[in-house]
A and B are shown apart, each in its own frame.
Chain A
Amino acid sequence: MGALSTARVLLVALAVIVLASFLPLWVSGYILGLLTLAYYFGVFSMAWDLLFGFAGEVNFGPTFLIGTGAYTAGILDNLYRPPIWVCLAAGALAAVIGGVVLALPALRVRGPYFGLTTLVAVLILQNFIVVAAGLTGGEIGLTVPDVISISDTTNYEIALWFMAASGAILFALSRSPVGLILQASGQDAVQAGALGFNVTKHKLAAFIISAFFSGLAGALLVFYMGTASVGTLVDITVGVQIIIAVVLGGRRTILGGVLGSVFLIAMSEALRPLGDLSSFVVSAMALVVVLAFPSGLLGLLTRTKETA
């Protein structure tokens, strides 16, 4: 990843973001809605990439963190109707707490065992939401009384700049000494530990940061859509979408996740005429990318050479 300096990447990204912020002048509300969704998914993907690409942990449970944040914010709004920012803060906080609770047992184990523990967390949350239907709306879903805004443009700009801010923080973090230590512990935990770095502490920190952004984005998404349901926020297929987005965009790049998310949503929209076959085509394309271009779209664009 030495080909591009941090400053140059951020400059290019900023230019793209500024350009994107003028989109509402040209495109319809429908496309803005799609992009809004894609941007929130971009944040999910970036948060996931920090754990996967850098700390080297396959977290099958990104939706555990997202769902915890989203449902906490939604339920709080339903019960007490505090200002929205209180709900958002509560959602982010709950996701962080959930992240710590999940990370403490999960980080004791490695590789596939970690993956499974996180997968189980999603299943438990899903079961809990269905069982506690009185509070969460169960399988039908939760409706919140408040939304941030009903204007497509406002929602779009909020999502865009939220994504930009999260991306900048996560990207800077990944290029900082902390990011390097994470990368080292992901590649060889024993050696990183022998060099005197507290591997568990750094991974826990990565988990907490990932949880914070996932939970906050999940909570924002609830107040954008006005609803929360297992199918859109918690189900394992949602987590799979996030994983596909990161792998497509390019893992260990943080920003690739956004590219992957926008690409996925654009593709499923473009392939809509195919009907039910579209998800088949999308996953087939993702598989081809994984098999043939393991460094993803961003890797293709920047042609960064990996030391094989």
Chain B
Amino acid sequence: MTVFWQILIDGFAISSLYALGATGFALIFGVSGVLNLSHGALMVAAVVAAWAAGNDLHVGPYAGAAIGVAVGFLASLATYFAVVRTLQRSRKIREEEKEIFILTATLLWGIMIQELIAYIFTNNAKTVAPIVNGVVMIAGVRTPANEIFTAIVCWLTIGLLWLVVNRTRAGKAVLAASMNPRGVTLLGIELSQVYVVVWAIYGVLVGVAGVLLGMFLGVSSYSVGPLTASAFAIVVLGGLGSVSGALIAAYVVGYLETLTAYLISPAYRTIPALLLLVAVMYVRPRGLLGRR
């Protein structure tokens, strides 16, 4: 019975983290049709910033986390202005090829960030000092308080995102742009401003998800590829452009991985999720709740 609770609790924490990471990825795609393959690199940049602030500047965990989120935010805006907007406005590339170019360019951008981090801070794994310490007993399972903290912050952030998107003027414009970009333009809203808002929101999400990941599991510059791949996989499984689909998919993948790790072997951790993904692609090419 303990194993059951352990899987339930561990899986919940991991899945919440996946959900937060994938939400931003899904948001960017839903609004601007951009698949940002530098996603993992932005997350790692946030973690390393929080880690370096704690280790080299000796700031407290709260200030470190804030610095990490700020770096995620700035890196996200830099990605938009330097890479994505340049390509979207380019006259040399045909419209139908822009998607492929954005994929390639964000991939290269991600490698640049990864290599720069590896150069300055080495490839070693980095763990951010957690904000909460200690363990709590839940249903007979010794659970690190940090795990509960992670899940709570993830859901608070997702809740906040929901409020911003549904209750504020800028957020409503974002929602409208994801439904019909041309309609938004006709209403007199500048689409490029909507994009800036989306990338800013995405930056905060990436920063928070990154810092939490850094406290929970730790990352190295090698994590860049797998992090992008898992966000990509979750978002596709849920259906591109659907945030609620991504949330469901995050829990499916998170629990499937935890179950495999506990019941079979940690070495096989990612395999069932990958096979599930291929199977879903085969029977339901648009993902669980996809609309594009």
Contacts and interface: CB of A to CB of B under 8 A. Distances in A.
B96 A187 contact: yes
B270 A105 contact: no
B94 A240 contact: no
Interface in B10-41: 35
A131 B112 CA distance: 31
B285 A109 contact: yes
Interface in A160-190: 187-188
A243 B119 CA distance: 23
B107 interface: yes
Contacts of A244: 104, 108
A259 to B, nearest CB: 17
A105 B281 contact: yes
Interface in B66-119: 83, 86-87, 90-94, 96, 99-101, 103-105, 107-109, 111-112, 115-116, 118-119
Interface in A113-167: 113, 115-117, 119-121, 123-124, 127, 130-131
B274 A243 contact: no
Given A108-B281, A236-B225, A280-B116, A290 B35 contact: no
Given A120-B274, A127-B271, A279-B111, A291 B87 contact: yes
B194 to A, nearest CB: 21
A121 B274 CA distance: 8
B112 A306 contact: no
Interface string A223-259: 0000000000000110010011001000000000000
B275 interface: yes
B8 interface: no
Contacts of A306: 92, 94
Nearest to A111: B99
Interface stretch (A3-11, A75-83, A92-100, A281-289): A281-289
A124 B86 CA distance: 35
A175 B188 CA distance: 47
A283 B233 contact: no
A209 interface: no
B240 interface: yes
Given A120-B278, A290-B105, A308-B92, A113 B111 contact: no
A276 B274 contact: no
A277 interface: yes
A123 B278 contact: no
A231 B236 CA distance: 27
A281 B144 CA distance: 42
A294 B98 CA distance: 10
Contact of A276 (B105, B115, B240): B115
A36 interface: no
B282 A105 contact: yes
Contacts of A108: 281-282, 285
Contacts of A293: 92
Nearest to A293: B92
Contacts of B108: 244, 283-284, 286-287, 290
A260 to B, nearest CB: 12
A243 to B, nearest CB: 6
A58 interface: yes
A266 B58 CA distance: 43
B232 interface: yes
A287 B112 contact: yes
Contacts of B262: none
Contacts of B278: 105, 117, 120-121, 124
Nearest to A285: B108
A56 B105 CA distance: 17
B86 A127 contact: no
Contacts of A243: 104, 107
B263 interface: no
B233 A116 contact: yes
A295 interface: yes
Contacts of B105: 287, 290-291
A188 B95 CA distance: 12
B94 A308 contact: yes
A58 B267 CA distance: 29
B274 A127 contact: yes
Closest 9 CB pairs of A and B: A280-B115, A287-B108, A109-B285, A283-B111, A105-B282, A276-B119, A279-B115, A294-B93, A116-B236
Interface of A: 52, 56, 58, 105-106, 108-109, 111-113, 115-117, 119-121, 123-124, 127, 130-131, 187-188, 236-237, 240, 243-244, 247, 275-277, 279-280, 283-284, 286-287, 290-291, 293-295, 306, 308
19 contacts: A105-B282, A108-B282, A112-B103, A113-B285, A116-B232, A116-B281, A119-B229, A123-B274, A127-B268, A131-B267, A131-B271, A237-B225, A247-B104, A276-B115, A287-B105, A287-B108, A290-B101, A291-B87, A291-B105
Interface of B: 35, 83, 86-87, 90-94, 96, 99-101, 103-105, 107-109, 111-112, 115-116, 118-119, 225, 229, 232-233, 236, 240, 267-268, 270-271, 274-275, 277-278, 281-282, 285-287
Given A109-B285, A113-B281, A290-B101, 10 more contacts: A108-B281, A112-B35, A112-B103, A123-B270, A123-B274, A275-B119, A276-B119, A287-B105, A291-B86, A294-B101
